[in-house]
Amino acid sequence: DTETAGREEPCLALGDQAAWISHRQLLHDARAAMATHAFTPVHRTLVCTPFTDYNGLVHGVLAPLLAGGAVLS
């Protein structure tokens, strides 16, 4: 991750104030969520929150996919 081009570039704007999140921060948060929830490739995650919600995106989509699991919406 430390050598990846574009890792510090903003990739996601949050809220009305447009707080920008970098690729590095998004990946860091997804890895932390993956560890917290102990996602594995056998997990199937049903997402009920909108993908525009940061926690829904990170915990419900990115972390399960990063672990090799599947996401149902």
pLDDT at 72: 92
Of 44, 47, 48, the residue nearest 69 (C-alpha) = 44
Q: Say whether 21 sits in a helix, a strand or coil.
A: strand
Give the tens place of pLDDT for each residue, 23-43: 888 888 999 999 999 999 999
Give the DSSP H or E segment for 57: helix 54-57
Q: Which residues of the chain have pLDDT under 50?
A: none
pLDDT at 45: 92
